Structures are given as structure tokens and as C-alpha cells.
Amino acid sequence: MHILLILGLLATLLAPGSGLSCEECFSLGGPCSGPVLPCGPGEDACMSGMGHYTLEGRTLLIAFRSCLEPGSCRTTHFSLTFRPGVTVRANVTCCHEDGCNMGVVELPSVSSVPNGRLCPSCYVEGAGQCKRMEPLPCTGAEDHCVEFTGTLSAGNMSLTKAAAGCGTPGACQKRVGVTKYARGIFDTLTRAVCYPAPHGEL
């Protein structure tokens, strides 16, 4: 009897899948919600995230929730300004209990109050590098200078860009290589630079 019980327990523990269930959804354009589904093998974390891009009048909101491998799942939030009117805000949360990735995801708030720092800035889509940098006064909590080159892929959408500007310290977590934010959402960076923004005036 005891042996059977232990064998049964072992079978449960060794069964494929982690036993964790997470909400699964993806949307371009607004918040998303979906069913809570069992995770696959090796997916021992739940993530929820939102990215908001303002690209000179165009706005892109990406919302996503899924199971994820624990090694890929990172809690991070940041805001970036590459030019006035070209901004990125993102908030990604990682958790480890059934359905813990449900609920509202807030985007980091941004301030337009100058903080006395200055960074080289540029933004080019579809290019591997910036040709010309313009000095950009940083605002609010964006007290680091950043430079990123790479491609963000989400579903069938992809955005290749070379960008530089001001960012919050959270943006310094970005690394060269492929970062998987959720199932089907990848950021591939060929260049990632981050350093404290020097004080300066235009």
C-alpha cells in the first residue's frame, strides 16, 4: 500500500509538464485576457507583460501572458526616450503560482520634467546603425544613456531599429543576444550599451 502510494507520487512528480498553470494571451492594440492553461515541460514560471511604443504619432501596445522557462522569465520595468515623441515603456512580471499572471499590468509612468542630464539620441527603423546623434535632455527617472540595435518580434510583427537616448536604470538589464519575453515574443539585440547620463545643458 505504502509502496503504491510512493510510486504514485513519483509518477505524478515525474510526469511531463510542471503542474503549473498560467493565463495565456497575446494582443496587439490593447490589454489581453485568455484561458488559464497547463504549462509545458520545463515551463515553471508565469509571466505577464505589456509594452507601449510611441513612434511619432503611431502607437503600438503589445500585451502578453504565458508560461515561460524560469531562465527566461525576468521581472523588469523601464521607460526609454529616443527622441521627443519616440518612447518605449514596458513592464514584465514573473511569478510562480497557478494563475498568478492574471490581473492588470500597469505601465511605468513617465515625467516630462528635465532632470539636468543629457544623452546622445537617434532613432532609425529598418537600419543597423544610427548615422547622426542629436543631444537629448533627459526627463524624470530616465537618468541613464542607452544605445540599442536589434529586432523586436511579436507574433507576425517585427520592428528592426537602431536607437539611442535616455532610459531608466531598468533598461540596463537588456543584453546582446536573444531575450524571450513570452512565447512568440523575442527581442534580438546586436548592440546594448547603458551608462549613467552625464549632467549637461544644450
Binding residues for ligand NAG, per CB under 6 A? Answer: 48, 77, 91, 93, 105-108, 155-156
Least distance from C-beta 48 to ligand NAG, angstroms?
6
Nearer to ligand NAG, 104 or 113 (CB): 104
8 A C-beta contact, residue 194 and residue 165: no
Q: Shortest approach of ligand NAG to residue 161 CB, angstroms?
A: 18
Q: What residue type is assigned to position 78 of the chain? A: F
Q: Give the span between the Cα atoms of 139 and 130, in whole angstroms.
A: 22
Residue from 157, 156, 149 nearest 188 by CA: 149
Residue 153 or 190: which CB sits closer to ligand NAG? 153
Minimum distance from CB of 52 to ligand NAG (Å)? 11
To the nearest whole angstrom, how small is the minimum distance from the Cβ of residue 154 to ligand NAG? 10
C-alpha cell read off for 107: 505601465
Nearest CB to ligand NAG, comparing residues 107 and 176? 107
CA 134 to centroid of chain Cα atoms: 26
- H/E stretch holding 169 reads none
CA dist 46 and 96 (Å) reads: 6
Partners of residue 124 on adjacent β-strands: 162
- 137 close to 202: Cβ distance less than 8 angstroms: yes
Nearer to ligand NAG, 12 or 156 (CB): 156
CB-wise, 155 or 177, nearer to ligand NAG?
155
Nearest approach, Cβ of residue 93 and ligand NAG (Å): 4
Contact (CB, 8 A) for 53 and 60: yes
